[in-house]
Amino acid sequence: MRPSKLGDAEIEYSMTAIKGWTRAGNSITKTFAFAKFLDGIAWIGKVAAAAERMDHHPDLDIRYTKVTATLSTHSAGGLTRSDFDLAKEMDALA
Amino acid sequence: MRPSKLGDAEIEYSMTAIKGWTRAGNSITKTFAFAKFLDGIAWIGKVAAAAERMDHHPDLDIRYTKVTATLSTHSAGGLTRSDFDLAKEMDALA
């Protein structure tokens, strides 16, 4: 079952459980910095496997040693529990 | 030795040797489409290894099964031979 869109109060509460993420309307975003270019790429490989397993795919912008992730649930038209689950997984893998 | 910035005529000539790339001022860009999300991620792994070997790193924007690459040589303030070499390598790996 697809998760449903969260309300503002639920989003604010969920934001307290993740660190370094910023909310921008219907998405949350964070820039991850790595020591080396290939460290960021290796992290993306692990994130991609997790994303595929969760069937929830992050937007990822690679800029040398920095990778900016943006999460949103397009099918729900906003933020859902899946976004926060994936954010936690990305943090754990970094 | 770092490659030097190419002039407009050299850029136009170099563009004829690559397919599907668009010039936008000081950069060239192309969106690669893959059948599956993990196909694009696997391609990025191969591109990253080539980029590291060439010491020239592309900007890569991952949007599910599509990856947009943007190439420019910031140290030269424009497009250089390195950008076109990397573009060819990325095409060959796709």
pLDDT digit string, tens, across residues A5-31: 999 999 999 999 999 999 999 999 999
Q: Tell whether A51 lies on the interface with B, counting CB pairs under 8 A.
A: yes
pLDDT for position A1: 63
What CATH number is given to the structural domain containing B81? 3.30.1360.20
What is the band of B76 on the pLDDT scale with cuts at 50, 70, 90?
Answer: very high
Tell me what pLDDT residue A2 has: 76
Mean pLDDT along residues B16-35: 97
Domain count, chain B: 1
Predicted confidence band of residue B3 (pLDDT cuts 50, 70, 90) = confident
- Contact flag B37-A48 (C-beta cutoff 8 Å): yes
Identify from B38, B62, B93 which residue to disrupt to test chain A contact, counting A C-beta atoms within 10 A and taking the largest count.
B62
Residue B52 domain flag: yes
- Find, in chain B, the residue whose alpha carbon is nearest to that of A61: B61
CB contact under 8 A, A45 and B41: yes
Minimum Cα–Cα distance from B57: chain A residue: A64
| Residue B70 structural domain | 24-93
In a domain, B64, yes or no: yes
Cβ-contact A32, A44 below 8 angstroms: no
- DSSP for B36-78 reads SHHHHHHHHHHHHHHHHHHT---EEEEETTEEEEEE-BGGGTB
Written as one letter, the residue type at A40 is G
Answer whether residue A7 is part of any domain: no
Question: CA of A83 to nearest chain B CA: how many angstroms apart?
Answer: 15
Within a domain: A14? no
Does a structural domain hold residue A72?
Answer: yes
